[in-house]
Amino acid sequence: MSINYRFREDEFLKKAQDYLSTTYEGHYVGDLAGLDEENIQTIDVWKTLGNVHTTCRDTAIKYLMRYGKKDGYTEKDLLKAIHYIVLLAHFTLPEEDSKK
C-alpha cells in the first residue's frame, strides 16, 4: 500500500534512520575496562547504573528544548531527540508492545 504522506513524514523518518546508523560508528563508542570495545557505549553505562530510561527521557527533552535556540532550527537537534525517544521506547516498552 502506498501512502501519500502530506507532511513528508516518510522522508524525515528516513533521515532519522540514516542518522541512527551513524551513531554506531561515533566517538562515544569505546573500551571500558578492557571489555569488547566494539560494543561498549555510554548508554551501556547508564543501563548498568540503573538510570537509562530517565537519562534517555531527559536527553530527548534537552534536545527538544534547545531546538530553535542554541544553533537555530537545526535538523540535528530533532534527529538526536528522536534517537533518545527510540532508545527510551526500547528500554521501557514491553517487547510485544514495540512490535505493534
Q: Which residue has the cell 547504573?
A: 49
Among 96, 90, 13, which Cα is nearest to 55's?
Answer: 90
pLDDT at 4: 93
Distance separating alpha carbons of residues 45 and 96, to the nearest angstrom? 25
Which is more confidently placed, 23 or 3? 3
Among 97, 63, 54, 98, which Cα is nearest to 83's?
Answer: 63
Domain boundaries, the chain: 9-98
Q: Reply yes or no on whether the pLDDT at 98 is more than 60.
A: no
pLDDT digits (tens, 9 = 90+) for 31-90: 555 555 556 788 888 999 999 999 999 999 999 999 999 889 999 999 999 999 999 999
| pLDDT band at residue 23 under the 50/70/90 scheme | confident
